[in-house]
């Protein structure tokens, strides 16, 4: 892969998460941005509520209207001083995207969305510079939203070896991260001691939701190291190299199993009803039928943004990387961003084209890795397929032309074990989606229907019933949401996730 940390912004021990903690507050370095940080602190401190929440109290309605009015009146700050540092840009994107999502999602449902100058112009300029969409992304919530717990040392002492991989020297710096005795620096994030920096709701459920993804990323760092090593071995492609590839693929299957465990750690602290009812609503981006107006954007020369979906862990580069590396056929990455590259048609969005859309929400250099993996001439699956075919051809055993030599059989088994591990991870993920979205959505629908505030047919809700207009709109909204079951990334989620899982299952080589 000839990977350098700089080229793809990957670190040996932390993968796509940076090894140093993200900036906690812009104003530590650039005092003029204190106003952004303060108004964000206020949104969190005031516990602003979703505009779609049923039974909003008048105090809650007033608090969020006042907060939005303050944001509308804030001066437009130039983004220029931020451009000199990636650390500033990341924090600025995080803060502005949080402000944007607090603003938009605290509005009563179906209110026209006009994004005030005070955020529209800075977020557009910061996002342009970063080549990221001007909305909340997985990188804002997960990759650049953590710090290392200083009060709680990791269980079992320092984290020596916790996330070390077999190829740890090949992906960027490592010795500088350890002290003279080989222990990781106390500031270094590990699965045990990473902690979330900021949330919308200050709930443990939201924190654990991000934490689970951060743990998947940290476990995934070893997968990236293994991928690089395998690609290096493919360059040699002799018998010995393939024997080593077999052992790396065995390790990869175990690492993917650890990633699944990290994903499932979500269940320890993330409550489905809290996630569905209180947290998820903050992630929504632009919705069909209610286009966002970006104040001042046209006059300032910005094109109307087209990538305005909400964040999704589907934007995690490490899972896409595994998919491309193993040749599972779900995602490819192309430089020109052509979604039809996966066979997408205008009327039917294949899972592949939806996954490709998600790549536009990834940090630029992470996306570059996916392109690199897609175009490298050293494709693992094709190489294994070739070894299997030639082993079969060489077989002198006429009555059993299927037999493979021992090494090739071991190689094939190791590859298929990695494919099976990805399939199992996706099965685990589907169970999570069932518990955290499908089931609470069904409960909500039943509850609202029983309550009589919402009939099964949304149009019936247009007739006046004995609830206030605001809660009627909220109920309509909730039923529509529950029925459509769109992912925050805007997908028809059940069809999409099963499509990706089934494609993975079919990718095993025989
Ligand atoms: C409460 C927890 C979670 C829920 C409810 C959830 C929900 C979803 C949904 C609805 C999608 C469809 C795309 C969209 O529209 O957003 C999706 C996709 C995806 N999610 Fe999650 N997710 C959760 C946790 C995670 C975690 C922790 C990870 C790992 C980092 C993850 C990885 C993925 C991936 C890779 C996809 C793309 C589809 C695939 O490759 O199979 N999810 N998720």
Residue 149 is predicted with a pLDDT of 78
Work out which ligand 1 atom sits closest to the CA atom of 331. Answer: 40
Residue 466 is predicted with a pLDDT of 31
Work out which ligand 1 atom sits closest to the CA atom of 351. Answer: 38
Exposed e or buried b per residue across 365-387, where buried means at least 16 C-beta atoms within 10 angstroms of its C-beta: bbbbbbbbbbebeebbbebbeeb
Q: State which of 314, 438, 501 you would mutate to test the pocket of ligand 1, scoring each by most atoms of that ligand within 8 A of its C-beta.
A: 314
Quick one: what percent of the chain has pLDDT higher than 90? 67
Compare 473 and 368 and report the one with higher pLDDT: 368
Residue 185 is predicted with a pLDDT of 61
The H or E element that residue 114 is part of is: strand 114-115
**Ligand 1 neighbour 370 (Cβ under 6 A):** no
How many angstroms separate the alpha carbon of residue 415 from the centre of ligand 1?
A: 24
pLDDT tens column, 215-250: 999 999 999 999 999 999 999 999 999 999 999 999
Question: What does the DSSP 8-state code read for residue 75?
Answer: P
Please report which confidence band the pLDDT of residue 172 belongs to, taking 50, 70 and 90 as the band edges: very low
**Ligand 1 neighbour 310 (Cβ under 6 A):** no
Give the annotated binding-site residues: 429
**Residue 36 to residue 198: CA distance in whole angstroms:** 14
Quick one: what percent of the chain has pLDDT higher than 70? 79
Lowest mean pLDDT among 222-226, 406-410, 448-452: 448-452
Compare 460 and 299 and report the one with higher pLDDT: 299
Q: Is 459 helix (H, G, I), strand (E, B) or coil?
A: helix
Please report which confidence band the pLDDT of residue 395 belongs to, taking 50, 70 and 90 as the band edges: confident
State CA 446 to chain mean position distance: 30
Lowest mean pLDDT among 123-137, 210-224, 411-425, 485-499: 485-499
Is residue 150 over pLDDT 80? no
> Residue of the nearest CA to atom 4 in ligand 1?
433
Q: State which of 256, 422, 429 you would mutate to test the pocket of ligand 1, scoring each by most atoms of that ligand within 8 A of its C-beta.
A: 429
**Residue 209 to residue 99: CA distance in whole angstroms:** 20
**Residue 71 to residue 4: CA distance in whole angstroms:** 41
Is residue 299 over pLDDT 60? yes
The two tokens of residue 341 are 């590259």
Q: State which of 139, 274, 288, 313 you would mutate to test the pocket of ligand 1, scoring each by most atoms of that ligand within 8 A of its C-beta.
A: 313
Work out which ligand 1 atom sits closest to the CA atom of 217. Answer: 30
Give the annotated binding-site residues for heme b: 429
**Residue 130 to residue 99: CA distance in whole angstroms:** 18
pLDDT tens column, 8-65: 999 999 999 999 999 999 999 999 999 999 999 999 999 999 999 989 999 999 999 9
Task: Quote the strand ranges of 117-222, DSSP E.
Answer: 146-148, 194-196
Work out which ligand 1 atom sits closest to the CA atom of 501. Answer: 41
């Amino acid at each position: 892969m000839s990977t350098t940390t700089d080229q793809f912004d990957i670190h040996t021990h932390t993968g796509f998460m940076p090894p140093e903690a993200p900036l906690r507050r812009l104003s530590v370095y650039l005092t003029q941005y204190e106003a952004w940080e303060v108004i964000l602190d206020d949104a969190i401190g005031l516990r602003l509520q979703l505009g779609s929440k049923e039974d909003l109290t008048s105090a809650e309605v007033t608090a969020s209207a006042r907060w939005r009015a303050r944001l509308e009146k804030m001066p437009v700050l130039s983004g220029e001083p931020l451009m000199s540092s990636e650390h500033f840009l990341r924090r600025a994107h995080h803060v502005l995207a949080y402000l944007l999502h607090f603003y938009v999602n605290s509005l009563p449902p179906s209110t026209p969305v006009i994004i005030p100058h005070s955020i529209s112009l800075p977020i557009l300029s910061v996002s342009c510079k970063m080549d990221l969409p001007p909305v909340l992304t997985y990188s804002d919530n997960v990759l650049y939203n953590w710090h290392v717990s200083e009060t709680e040392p990791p269980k079992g002492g320092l984290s020596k070896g916790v996330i070390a991989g077999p190829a740890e020297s090949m992906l960027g710096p490592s010795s500088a991260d350890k002290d003279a005795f080989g222990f990781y620096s106390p500031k270094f994030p590990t699965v045990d001691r990473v902690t979330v920096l900021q949330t919308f709701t200050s709930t443990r459920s939201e924190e654990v939701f991000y934490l689970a993804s951060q743990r998947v990323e940290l476990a995934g760092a070893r997968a990236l190291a293994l991928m690089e090593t395998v690609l290096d071995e493919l360059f040699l492609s002799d018998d010995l190299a393939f024997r080593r590839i077999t052992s790396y693929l065995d390790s990869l299957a175990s690492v993917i199993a650890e990633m699944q465990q990290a994903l499932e750690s979500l269940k320890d602290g993330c409550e489905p009803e809290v996630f569905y009812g209180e947290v998820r609503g903050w992630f929504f981006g632009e919705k069909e039928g209610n286009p966002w107006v970006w104040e001042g954007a046209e006059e300032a020369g910005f094109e109307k943004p087209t990538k305005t979906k909400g964040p999704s862990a589907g934007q995690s580069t490490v899972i896409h990387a595994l998919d491309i590396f193993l040749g599972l056929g779900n995602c490819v990455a192309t430089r020109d961003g052509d979604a039809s590259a996966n066979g997408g048609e205008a009327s039917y969005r294949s899972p592949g084209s939806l996954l490709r859309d998600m790549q536009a929400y990834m940090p630029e250099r992470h996306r570059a890795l996916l392109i690199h993996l897609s175009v490298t001439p050293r494709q693992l699956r094709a190489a294994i397929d070739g070894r299997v075919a030639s082993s079969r051809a060489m077989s002198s055993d006429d009555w059993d032309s299927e037999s493979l030599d021992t090494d090739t059989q071991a190689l094939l088994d190791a590859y298929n074990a990695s494919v099976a591990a990805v399939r199992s991870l996706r099965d685990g993920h589907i169970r999570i989606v069932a518990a955290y979205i499908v089931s609470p959505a069904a409960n909500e629908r039943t509850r609202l229907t029983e309550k009589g505030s919402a009939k099964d047919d949304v149009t019936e809700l247009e007739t006046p019933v004995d609830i206030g207009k605001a809660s009627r709109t909220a109920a309509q909204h909730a039923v529509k949401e529950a029925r459509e079951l769109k992912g925050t990334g805007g997908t028809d989620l059940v069809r999409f996730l099963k499509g990706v899982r089934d494609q993975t299952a079919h990718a095993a080589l025989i």
